[in-house]
Structure 1
Protein backbone atom coordinates (compact mmCIF):
# COMPACT_ATOMS: atom_id res chain seq x y z
CA UNK A 1 0.00 0.00 0.00
CA UNK A 2 1.04 3.60 -0.64
CA UNK A 3 2.98 5.02 2.33
CA UNK A 4 0.85 8.15 2.16
CA UNK A 5 -2.13 6.07 3.25
CA UNK A 6 -0.50 5.53 6.64
CA UNK A 7 -0.33 9.28 7.09
CA UNK A 8 -3.92 9.69 5.92
CA UNK A 9 -5.05 7.18 8.54
CA UNK A 10 -3.44 9.00 11.47
CA UNK A 11 -6.67 10.94 12.19
CA UNK A 12 -8.60 7.66 12.19
CA UNK A 13 -6.13 6.15 14.67
CA UNK A 14 -6.35 9.26 16.87
CA UNK A 15 -10.16 9.25 16.86
CA UNK A 16 -10.22 5.53 17.63
CA UNK A 17 -7.93 6.04 20.63
CA UNK A 18 -10.11 8.96 21.73
CA UNK A 19 -13.14 6.65 21.78
CA UNK A 20 -11.33 4.06 23.86
CA UNK A 21 -10.02 6.74 26.23
CA UNK A 22 -13.22 8.77 26.63
CA UNK A 23 -16.14 7.03 24.97
CA UNK A 24 -16.03 3.88 27.08
CA UNK A 25 -16.28 5.69 30.41
CA UNK A 26 -19.20 4.12 32.30
CA UNK A 27 -20.32 7.55 33.53
CA UNK A 28 -20.41 9.18 30.09
CA UNK A 29 -23.71 10.51 28.76
CA UNK A 30 -25.16 8.43 25.88
CA UNK A 31 -25.19 11.42 23.52
CA UNK A 32 -21.49 12.06 24.05
CA UNK A 33 -20.65 8.37 23.78
CA UNK A 34 -22.44 8.24 20.43
CA UNK A 35 -20.33 11.14 19.18
CA UNK A 36 -17.03 9.55 20.26
CA UNK A 37 -18.13 6.20 18.83
CA UNK A 38 -19.07 7.58 15.42
CA UNK A 39 -16.07 9.86 14.82
CA UNK A 40 -13.61 7.17 13.57
CA UNK A 41 -16.02 5.87 10.93
CA UNK A 42 -16.99 9.43 9.98
CA UNK A 43 -13.35 9.99 9.07
CA UNK A 44 -13.41 6.83 6.94
CA UNK A 45 -16.41 8.27 5.09
CA UNK A 46 -14.28 11.30 4.26
CA UNK A 47 -11.48 8.99 3.07
CA UNK A 48 -13.82 6.99 0.82
CA UNK A 49 -15.32 10.14 -0.68
CA UNK A 50 -11.84 11.55 -1.28
CA UNK A 51 -11.14 8.52 -3.47
CA UNK A 52 -13.91 9.41 -5.92
CA UNK A 53 -12.23 9.65 -9.32
CA UNK A 54 -13.30 10.32 -12.86
CA UNK A 55 -13.93 6.74 -13.97
CA UNK A 56 -17.40 5.26 -13.48
CA UNK A 57 -15.95 2.14 -11.86
CA UNK A 58 -14.09 4.20 -9.28
CA UNK A 59 -17.09 6.40 -8.49
CA UNK A 60 -19.49 3.47 -8.16
CA UNK A 61 -17.20 1.50 -5.85
CA UNK A 62 -16.25 4.40 -3.58
CA UNK A 63 -19.85 5.69 -3.43
CA UNK A 64 -21.15 2.30 -2.32
CA UNK A 65 -18.40 1.94 0.28
CA UNK A 66 -19.14 5.46 1.54
CA UNK A 67 -22.86 4.60 1.68
CA UNK A 68 -22.08 1.52 3.75
CA UNK A 69 -19.96 3.62 6.12
CA UNK A 70 -22.73 6.23 6.51
CA UNK A 71 -25.24 3.50 7.34
CA UNK A 72 -22.75 2.02 9.79
CA UNK A 73 -22.47 5.36 11.58
CA UNK A 74 -26.25 5.42 11.95
CA UNK A 75 -26.10 1.90 13.40
CA UNK A 76 -23.23 2.88 15.73
CA UNK A 77 -25.26 5.78 17.11
CA UNK A 78 -28.51 3.83 17.47
CA UNK A 79 -27.16 0.92 19.49
CA UNK A 80 -25.81 3.23 22.17
CA UNK A 81 -29.46 3.23 23.33
CA UNK A 82 -30.83 -0.31 23.92
CA UNK A 83 -34.32 0.72 22.77
CA UNK A 84 -32.87 1.61 19.35
CA UNK A 85 -31.16 -1.77 18.87
CA UNK A 86 -33.55 -2.87 16.09
CA UNK A 87 -33.17 0.36 14.04
CA UNK A 88 -29.41 0.04 14.56
CA UNK A 89 -29.45 -3.55 13.35
CA UNK A 90 -31.44 -2.45 10.28
CA UNK A 91 -28.82 0.22 9.51
CA UNK A 92 -26.06 -2.41 9.72
CA UNK A 93 -28.07 -4.74 7.47
CA UNK A 94 -28.30 -2.02 4.83
CA UNK A 95 -24.60 -1.24 5.28
CA UNK A 96 -23.63 -4.84 4.55
CA UNK A 97 -25.92 -4.75 1.52
CA UNK A 98 -24.06 -1.68 0.24
CA UNK A 99 -20.70 -3.38 0.79
CA UNK A 100 -21.84 -6.56 -0.95
CA UNK A 101 -23.09 -4.51 -3.90
CA UNK A 102 -19.77 -2.69 -4.15
CA UNK A 103 -17.89 -6.00 -4.34
CA UNK A 104 -20.00 -7.06 -7.33
CA UNK A 105 -21.86 -10.21 -8.37
CA UNK A 106 -19.57 -11.62 -11.05
CA UNK A 107 -18.08 -14.17 -11.00
CA UNK A 108 -20.67 -15.83 -8.78
CA UNK A 109 -18.70 -18.66 -7.07
CA UNK A 110 -22.00 -20.17 -5.93
CA UNK A 111 -20.45 -23.12 -4.08
CA UNK A 112 -18.43 -20.75 -1.92
CA UNK A 113 -21.62 -18.88 -1.06
CA UNK A 114 -23.50 -22.06 -0.13
CA UNK A 115 -20.71 -23.16 2.21
CA UNK A 116 -20.53 -19.75 3.89
CA UNK A 117 -24.31 -19.48 4.34
CA UNK A 118 -24.43 -22.99 5.82
CA UNK A 119 -21.65 -22.34 8.33
CA UNK A 120 -22.78 -18.87 9.42
CA UNK A 121 -26.49 -19.67 9.71
CA UNK A 122 -25.78 -22.88 11.65
CA UNK A 123 -23.60 -20.91 14.07
CA UNK A 124 -26.16 -18.13 14.45
CA UNK A 125 -29.03 -20.57 15.00
CA UNK A 126 -27.15 -22.09 17.92
CA UNK A 127 -26.59 -18.67 19.49
CA UNK A 128 -30.05 -17.07 19.38
CA UNK A 129 -32.27 -19.73 20.94
CA UNK A 130 -32.79 -17.76 24.16
CA UNK A 131 -33.71 -14.44 22.54
CA UNK A 132 -37.10 -12.95 21.64
CA UNK A 133 -38.69 -13.71 18.27
CA UNK A 134 -38.15 -10.15 17.01
CA UNK A 135 -34.47 -10.23 17.93
CA UNK A 136 -34.01 -13.67 16.39
CA UNK A 137 -35.55 -12.48 13.12
CA UNK A 138 -33.40 -9.33 13.06
CA UNK A 139 -30.23 -11.30 13.80
CA UNK A 140 -30.95 -13.92 11.13
CA UNK A 141 -31.57 -11.23 8.50
CA UNK A 142 -28.40 -9.48 9.62
CA UNK A 143 -26.44 -12.75 9.38
CA UNK A 144 -27.74 -13.33 5.83
CA UNK A 145 -26.54 -9.89 4.68
CA UNK A 146 -23.22 -10.24 6.51
CA UNK A 147 -22.67 -13.62 4.86
CA UNK A 148 -23.58 -12.18 1.46
CA UNK A 149 -20.99 -9.44 1.97
CA UNK A 150 -18.37 -12.00 3.03
CA UNK A 151 -19.21 -14.24 0.05
CA UNK A 152 -18.85 -11.40 -2.46
CA UNK A 153 -15.55 -10.28 -0.88
CA UNK A 154 -14.26 -13.87 -1.19
CA UNK A 155 -15.40 -14.16 -4.79
CA UNK A 156 -13.86 -10.82 -5.74
CA UNK A 157 -10.53 -11.76 -4.22
CA UNK A 158 -10.43 -15.30 -5.62
CA UNK A 159 -11.20 -14.02 -9.12
CA UNK A 160 -8.20 -11.66 -9.27
CA UNK A 161 -6.20 -11.43 -6.03
CA UNK A 162 -4.48 -8.22 -5.04
CA UNK A 163 -3.69 -6.38 -1.81
CA UNK A 164 -6.71 -4.07 -2.00
CA UNK A 165 -9.17 -6.91 -2.52
CA UNK A 166 -7.50 -8.77 0.33
CA UNK A 167 -8.11 -5.68 2.47
CA UNK A 168 -11.83 -5.83 1.68
CA UNK A 169 -11.93 -9.56 2.43
CA UNK A 170 -10.07 -9.00 5.69
CA UNK A 171 -12.66 -6.41 6.64
CA UNK A 172 -15.49 -8.85 5.98
CA UNK A 173 -13.79 -11.54 8.09
CA UNK A 174 -13.20 -9.08 10.92
CA UNK A 175 -16.89 -8.14 10.85
CA UNK A 176 -17.79 -11.81 11.21
CA UNK A 177 -15.32 -12.20 14.08
CA UNK A 178 -16.65 -9.21 16.02
CA UNK A 179 -20.24 -10.39 15.58
CA UNK A 180 -19.45 -13.92 16.75
CA UNK A 181 -17.79 -12.50 19.88
CA UNK A 182 -20.83 -10.27 20.43
CA UNK A 183 -23.14 -13.27 20.01
CA UNK A 184 -21.18 -15.35 22.51
CA UNK A 185 -21.15 -12.45 24.98
CA UNK A 186 -24.90 -11.90 24.54
CA UNK A 187 -26.09 -15.52 24.60
CA UNK A 188 -23.59 -17.68 26.49
CA UNK A 189 -21.21 -16.01 28.91
CA UNK A 190 -19.78 -12.60 29.72
CA UNK A 191 -16.48 -11.96 27.95
CA UNK A 192 -14.05 -9.77 29.94
CA UNK A 193 -13.62 -6.33 28.33
CA UNK A 194 -16.09 -7.39 25.64
CA UNK A 195 -16.88 -3.86 24.43
CA UNK A 196 -13.20 -3.05 23.96
CA UNK A 197 -12.53 -6.29 22.06
CA UNK A 198 -15.63 -6.01 19.87
CA UNK A 199 -15.08 -2.34 19.02
CA UNK A 200 -11.36 -2.82 18.28
CA UNK A 201 -12.19 -5.57 15.79
CA UNK A 202 -15.12 -3.57 14.40
CA UNK A 203 -12.99 -0.50 13.72
CA UNK A 204 -10.42 -2.77 12.09
CA UNK A 205 -13.13 -4.17 9.83
CA UNK A 206 -14.32 -0.74 8.74
CA UNK A 207 -10.73 0.42 8.19
CA UNK A 208 -9.92 -2.54 5.93
CA UNK A 209 -13.05 -2.02 3.85
CA UNK A 210 -12.44 1.72 3.52
CA UNK A 211 -8.82 1.09 2.48
CA UNK A 212 -10.02 -1.09 -0.39
CA UNK A 213 -11.06 2.16 -2.11
CA UNK A 214 -7.35 2.72 -2.66
CA UNK A 215 -7.31 0.07 -5.38
CA UNK A 216 -8.49 2.54 -7.98
CA UNK A 217 -5.88 5.09 -6.91
CA UNK A 218 -3.13 2.45 -7.11
CA UNK A 219 -4.18 1.29 -10.58
CA UNK A 220 -4.31 4.85 -11.82
CA UNK A 221 -0.76 5.51 -10.60
CA UNK A 222 0.50 2.33 -12.24
CA UNK A 223 -1.11 3.34 -15.52
Structure 2
Protein backbone atom coordinates (compact mmCIF):
# COMPACT_ATOMS: atom_id res chain seq x y z
CA UNK A 1 0.00 0.00 0.00
CA UNK A 2 1.44 3.39 -0.96
CA UNK A 3 1.59 6.40 1.36
CA UNK A 4 -1.40 8.13 -0.29
CA UNK A 5 -3.67 5.12 0.13
CA UNK A 6 -2.51 4.63 3.71
CA UNK A 7 -3.18 8.29 4.45
CA UNK A 8 -6.74 7.88 3.23
CA UNK A 9 -7.12 4.73 5.32
CA UNK A 10 -5.82 6.38 8.50
CA UNK A 11 -8.07 9.38 7.88
CA UNK A 12 -11.03 7.00 7.69
CA UNK A 13 -9.95 5.13 10.80
CA UNK A 14 -9.73 8.34 12.81
CA UNK A 15 -13.17 9.48 11.59
CA UNK A 16 -16.39 9.08 13.51
CA UNK A 17 -16.86 5.66 11.90
CA UNK A 18 -14.18 4.17 14.15
CA UNK A 19 -14.50 5.82 17.59
CA UNK A 20 -12.46 3.06 19.23
CA UNK A 21 -9.28 4.17 17.46
CA UNK A 22 -9.45 7.67 18.91
CA UNK A 23 -10.72 6.46 22.28
CA UNK A 24 -7.85 4.03 22.87
CA UNK A 25 -5.19 6.53 21.77
CA UNK A 26 -6.19 8.95 24.54
CA UNK A 27 -4.28 7.01 27.27
CA UNK A 28 -1.12 7.10 25.12
CA UNK A 29 -1.40 10.86 24.62
CA UNK A 30 -2.03 11.42 28.33
CA UNK A 31 0.87 9.16 29.32
CA UNK A 32 3.23 11.05 26.99
CA UNK A 33 2.05 14.35 28.45
CA UNK A 34 2.55 12.97 31.97
CA UNK A 35 6.14 11.96 31.12
CA UNK A 36 7.07 15.39 29.77
CA UNK A 37 5.27 17.26 32.54
CA UNK A 38 6.97 15.30 35.34
CA UNK A 39 10.35 15.28 33.56
CA UNK A 40 12.02 13.23 36.30
CA UNK A 41 15.80 13.97 36.27
CA UNK A 42 17.90 11.25 34.68
CA UNK A 43 20.27 11.26 37.66
CA UNK A 44 17.42 10.04 39.89
CA UNK A 45 16.77 6.49 38.60
CA UNK A 46 13.89 4.69 40.28
CA UNK A 47 11.08 2.28 39.50
CA UNK A 48 8.72 5.26 39.45
CA UNK A 49 10.72 6.98 36.70
CA UNK A 50 10.91 3.66 34.82
CA UNK A 51 7.13 3.24 35.01
CA UNK A 52 6.49 6.82 33.87
CA UNK A 53 8.83 6.31 30.90
CA UNK A 54 7.33 2.93 29.93
CA UNK A 55 3.68 3.90 30.39
CA UNK A 56 3.11 5.40 26.89
CA UNK A 57 4.48 2.23 25.28
CA UNK A 58 2.31 0.01 27.47
CA UNK A 59 -0.68 2.14 26.45
CA UNK A 60 0.11 1.32 22.83
CA UNK A 61 0.07 -2.40 23.70
CA UNK A 62 -3.44 -1.95 25.08
CA UNK A 63 -4.38 0.14 22.02
CA UNK A 64 -3.44 -2.68 19.64
CA UNK A 65 -5.27 -5.23 21.77
CA UNK A 66 -8.41 -3.05 21.77
CA UNK A 67 -8.67 -2.05 18.10
CA UNK A 68 -7.15 -4.93 16.13
CA UNK A 69 -8.16 -8.57 15.88
CA UNK A 70 -5.89 -11.27 17.26
CA UNK A 71 -3.87 -11.84 14.11
CA UNK A 72 -0.16 -12.52 13.83
CA UNK A 73 0.86 -9.00 12.79
CA UNK A 74 -0.82 -7.50 15.86
CA UNK A 75 0.91 -9.95 18.20
CA UNK A 76 4.26 -9.21 16.59
CA UNK A 77 3.77 -5.46 17.04
CA UNK A 78 2.71 -6.00 20.64
CA UNK A 79 5.84 -8.10 21.19
CA UNK A 80 7.94 -5.23 19.81
CA UNK A 81 6.27 -2.81 22.20
CA UNK A 82 6.72 -5.06 25.25
CA UNK A 83 10.42 -5.50 24.45
CA UNK A 84 10.70 -1.73 23.98
CA UNK A 85 9.15 -1.15 27.40
CA UNK A 86 11.70 -3.51 28.95
CA UNK A 87 14.45 -1.60 27.14
CA UNK A 88 13.08 1.72 28.39
CA UNK A 89 13.17 0.46 31.96
CA UNK A 90 16.73 -0.86 31.61
CA UNK A 91 18.03 2.44 30.23
CA UNK A 92 16.92 4.20 33.40
CA UNK A 93 19.94 2.61 35.11
CA UNK A 94 23.31 3.17 33.34
CA UNK A 95 24.63 -0.20 34.51
CA UNK A 96 21.77 -1.93 32.63
CA UNK A 97 22.56 -0.24 29.30
CA UNK A 98 23.55 -3.49 27.56
CA UNK A 99 20.35 -5.16 28.72
CA UNK A 100 18.42 -2.22 27.27
CA UNK A 101 20.20 -2.64 23.93
CA UNK A 102 19.35 -6.36 23.94
CA UNK A 103 15.68 -5.62 24.63
CA UNK A 104 15.47 -3.04 21.85
CA UNK A 105 17.25 -5.46 19.50
CA UNK A 106 14.49 -7.97 20.20
CA UNK A 107 11.90 -5.24 19.56
CA UNK A 108 13.41 -4.48 16.15
CA UNK A 109 13.40 -8.18 15.28
CA UNK A 110 9.67 -8.29 16.08
CA UNK A 111 9.14 -5.31 13.78
CA UNK A 112 11.23 -7.01 11.09
CA UNK A 113 9.05 -10.11 11.28
CA UNK A 114 5.87 -8.00 11.20
CA UNK A 115 6.96 -6.05 8.11
CA UNK A 116 8.15 -9.14 6.21
CA UNK A 117 10.80 -9.50 3.52
CA UNK A 118 8.72 -8.94 0.39
CA UNK A 119 9.44 -7.04 -1.77
CA UNK A 120 13.13 -7.36 -0.97
CA UNK A 121 14.63 -4.14 -2.47
CA UNK A 122 18.29 -4.92 -1.62
CA UNK A 123 19.46 -1.65 -3.19
CA UNK A 124 17.76 0.30 -0.41
CA UNK A 125 19.53 -1.84 2.18
CA UNK A 126 22.89 -0.98 0.62
CA UNK A 127 22.20 2.76 0.94
CA UNK A 128 21.12 2.34 4.56
CA UNK A 129 24.19 0.27 5.42
CA UNK A 130 26.45 2.87 3.81
CA UNK A 131 24.87 5.64 5.90
CA UNK A 132 25.17 3.43 9.00
CA UNK A 133 28.87 2.80 8.36
CA UNK A 134 29.51 6.53 7.99
CA UNK A 135 27.78 7.19 11.33
CA UNK A 136 29.67 4.34 13.01
CA UNK A 137 32.97 5.76 11.78
CA UNK A 138 32.32 8.76 14.04
CA UNK A 139 30.93 6.69 16.92
CA UNK A 140 33.29 3.73 17.25
CA UNK A 141 36.47 5.66 18.25
CA UNK A 142 34.61 6.88 21.35
CA UNK A 143 33.45 3.45 22.54
CA UNK A 144 35.06 1.28 25.18
CA UNK A 145 36.46 -1.94 23.63
CA UNK A 146 33.79 -4.12 25.25
CA UNK A 147 31.03 -1.95 23.75
CA UNK A 148 32.15 -2.10 20.11
CA UNK A 149 30.60 -5.46 19.17
CA UNK A 150 27.27 -4.87 21.00
CA UNK A 151 26.88 -1.44 19.38
CA UNK A 152 27.74 -2.79 15.93
CA UNK A 153 25.29 -5.66 16.34
CA UNK A 154 22.55 -3.30 17.48
CA UNK A 155 23.28 -0.95 14.59
CA UNK A 156 22.94 -3.81 12.12
CA UNK A 157 19.57 -4.85 13.55
CA UNK A 158 18.32 -1.24 13.67
CA UNK A 159 19.41 -0.68 10.06
CA UNK A 160 17.57 -3.83 9.01
CA UNK A 161 14.40 -2.64 10.73
CA UNK A 162 14.73 0.74 9.02
CA UNK A 163 15.14 -1.04 5.68
CA UNK A 164 11.98 -3.10 6.07
CA UNK A 165 9.96 -0.18 7.45
CA UNK A 166 10.92 1.99 4.47
CA UNK A 167 10.02 -0.80 2.05
CA UNK A 168 6.64 -1.11 3.76
CA UNK A 169 6.23 2.66 3.45
CA UNK A 170 3.63 5.00 4.89
CA UNK A 171 3.53 5.34 8.68
CA UNK A 172 5.91 2.38 9.09
CA UNK A 173 8.56 4.18 7.03
CA UNK A 174 8.27 7.40 8.97
CA UNK A 175 8.30 5.45 12.22
CA UNK A 176 11.50 3.66 11.24
CA UNK A 177 13.17 6.95 10.32
CA UNK A 178 12.19 8.61 13.61
CA UNK A 179 13.32 5.57 15.63
CA UNK A 180 16.70 5.73 13.90
CA UNK A 181 17.00 9.46 14.59
CA UNK A 182 16.12 8.89 18.25
CA UNK A 183 18.76 6.17 18.66
CA UNK A 184 21.31 8.15 16.69
CA UNK A 185 20.93 11.19 18.94
CA UNK A 186 20.99 8.97 22.04
CA UNK A 187 24.26 7.31 20.98
CA UNK A 188 25.90 10.60 20.01
CA UNK A 189 24.86 12.19 23.30
CA UNK A 190 25.98 9.18 25.35
CA UNK A 191 29.30 8.38 23.69
CA UNK A 192 30.58 11.39 21.76
CA UNK A 193 29.35 14.73 23.10
CA UNK A 194 26.46 16.02 25.19
CA UNK A 195 23.88 17.72 22.97
CA UNK A 196 21.51 20.52 24.03
CA UNK A 197 17.95 19.30 24.48
CA UNK A 198 19.08 15.77 23.63
CA UNK A 199 16.55 14.09 25.91
CA UNK A 200 13.70 16.16 24.44
CA UNK A 201 14.67 15.12 20.92
CA UNK A 202 15.27 11.48 21.87
CA UNK A 203 11.96 10.96 23.65
CA UNK A 204 9.81 13.02 21.27
CA UNK A 205 11.05 11.15 18.21
CA UNK A 206 10.92 7.83 20.09
CA UNK A 207 7.28 8.08 21.18
CA UNK A 208 6.27 9.38 17.74
CA UNK A 209 8.16 6.51 16.10
CA UNK A 210 6.44 3.85 18.16
CA UNK A 211 3.02 5.35 17.43
CA UNK A 212 3.68 5.47 13.69
CA UNK A 213 5.04 1.92 13.64
CA UNK A 214 2.01 0.44 15.33
CA UNK A 215 -0.39 2.52 13.21
CA UNK A 216 0.97 0.53 10.28
CA UNK A 217 -0.79 -2.43 11.87
CA UNK A 218 -4.15 -0.74 11.19
CA UNK A 219 -3.84 -1.35 7.47
CA UNK A 220 -5.59 -4.67 7.73
CA UNK A 221 -9.38 -4.80 7.79
CA UNK A 222 -11.34 -6.14 10.72
CA UNK A 223 -10.89 -3.40 13.28
CA UNK A 224 -13.15 -3.46 16.29
CA UNK A 225 -15.48 -0.48 16.02
CA UNK A 226 -17.74 -1.02 19.04
Structure 1's unaligned 5+ residue stretches are 158-165
Partner secondary structure for residue 38 of structure 1: helix
TM-superposed deviation, 1:168 = 0.9
Displaced runs of 4+ in structure 1, greater than 6 A?
Answer: 218-221
Distance 2:147 2:158 in 1: 16
Structure 2's unaligned 5+ residue stretches are 1-9
Alignment of 1:115-126 (within 5 A): 115-126=127-138
Query: TM-score by structure 2 length?
Result: 0.85
TM-superposed deviation, 1:27 = 7.2
Q: Which position in structure 1 is the counterpart of 2:33? A: 17
Distance 2:197 2:167 in 1: 34
Q: Which position in structure 2 is the counterpart of 1:70? A: 82
TM-superposed deviation, 1:188 = 3.1
Deviations 1:122-142 (A, max 9, x none): 212321211112222111111
Distance 1:151 1:16, change over 3 A: same
Q: Is the 8 A contact 1:79 1:88 kept in 2?
A: yes
Distance 1:121 1:67 in 2: 29
> Which of 201, 206, 210 matches 1:197?
201
Q: Which position in structure 1 is the counterpart of 2:149? A: 137
Q: Is the 8 A contact 1:23 1:36 kept in 2?
A: no
More off after superposition, 125-134 vs 75-84: 125-134
Q: Which position in structure 2 is the counterpart of 1:188? A: 192
Q: Which position in structure 1 is the counterpart of 2:3? A: none
Distance 1:108 1:35 in 2: 38
Q: How much is the aligned-residue C-alpha RMSD, in angstroms?
A: 2.0
Q: Which has the higher contact order (CA 8 A, sep 6+)?
A: 2
TM-superposed deviation, 1:23 = 4.3
Deviations 1:37-74 (A, max 9, x none): 010000001112234426xxxx1111111100000000
